[in-house]
Amino acid sequence: MSGAVLWTHTTSATTRPVLPDGCTDLIWSEGRLLVAGPDTGPHLPDAAPPGTRHTGLRFAPGQGPAVFGVPARELRDLRVPLADLWPAAQVRELAGRMAAGGAPGRVLEETAVARLRAAADRTASGPAARSAPPPRSGRTAAIAAALDRGHPVAEVARAVALSERQLHRHCLDAFGYGPKTLTRVLRFVRALGLARSGMPYAHVAACAGYADQAHLAREVKALAGAPMGVLLGSG
């Protein structure tokens, strides 16, 4: 499924926080289906016994709303049961398939693809037929790409033919937060990747688009709740 990443995780004795990345997730764990909204800060998962297995499908920024059926702003910084968003019978049927099959990731992918196709069909039928957010549009993808490259908000708005106020509303619905916050989150993700590659922090700051290393340190602490060294496991 283009734009989505399938992942698995087995809990250990040490619980690490989930860091902001602009994404949303559909998660299967311990017989439950959960939705993880876009985070604005570190999220510490609920405690689970060591050895607990989680399987998730992580959607690219702007892709989740069409799958979940609600604007991303309604899921910001939340973990909610899928049954709060979809009809209970549909969630029970999906949970039954997940429990009975040996490939939960494949079931998650098939379900997401079906939801995106249904959203595309609603969009093609016209505005009157829409009952949920449309699929990730070319405009949404262009906004995410431009903000990820560090383009100013006013420039991005002009490029996608929206006013800055319209752009802000679009970003709240598609990504869960406004364009400035999305820029900060995507820049943080880029910086963390560079730091994990072994790049010195001063070079990370320059390559990721921070004013200087002190600016990088402040933003990392604000978004992740810990210094970069701790995130990398060296502090």
> DSSP letters along 111-123, please?
HHHHHHHHHHHHH
pLDDT at 209 over 50: yes
- For residue 132, name the pLDDT band (cuts at 50, 70, 90): low
For 75-104, the pLDDT digits (tens) are: 999 999 999 999 999 999 999 999 887 789
What pLDDT does 2 receive?
A: 72
Least confident of 28-37, 96-105, 172-181: 96-105
- For residue 20, name the pLDDT band (cuts at 50, 70, 90): very high
How distant is the alpha carbon of residue 98 from its chain centre?
22
- What's the pTM value of the predicted model, to 2 decimals? 0.89
SS3 per-residue string spanning the chain: CCCEEEEEEECCCCCCCECCCCCEEEEEECCEEEEECCCCCCECCCCCCCCCEEEEEEECCCCHHHHHCCCHHHHCCCEEEHHHCCCHHHHHHHHHHHHHCCCHHHHHHHHHHHHHHHHHHHHHHCHHHCCCCCCCCHHHHHHHHHHHCCCCHHHHHHHCCCCHHHHHHHHHHHHCCCHHHHHHHHHHHHHHHHHHCCCCHHHHHHHHCCCCHHHHHHHHHHHHCCCHHHHCCCC
In terms of pLDDT, which residue wins out, 128 or 174?
174
What pLDDT does 11 receive?
A: 86
What pLDDT does 235 receive?
A: 43
What pLDDT does 135 receive?
A: 67
In terms of pLDDT, which residue wins out, 234 or 24?
24
For 43-81, the pLDDT digits (tens) are: 988 877 888 899 999 999 999 999 999 999 999 999 999
For 136-172, the pLDDT digits (tens) are: 788 999 999 999 999 999 999 999 999 999 999 999 9
Q: Which two tokens stand for residue 137?
A: 């549009």
Taking residues 201-210, report their average pLDDT.
97
What pLDDT does 68 receive?
A: 96
Domain boundaries, the chain: 4-129, 138-176, 180-231
**Residue 126, burial from CB neighbour count under 10 angstroms (0-12, 13-18, 19+):** exposed
Taking residues 97-112, report their average pLDDT.
90
For the domain covering 180-231, report its CATH number.
1.10.10
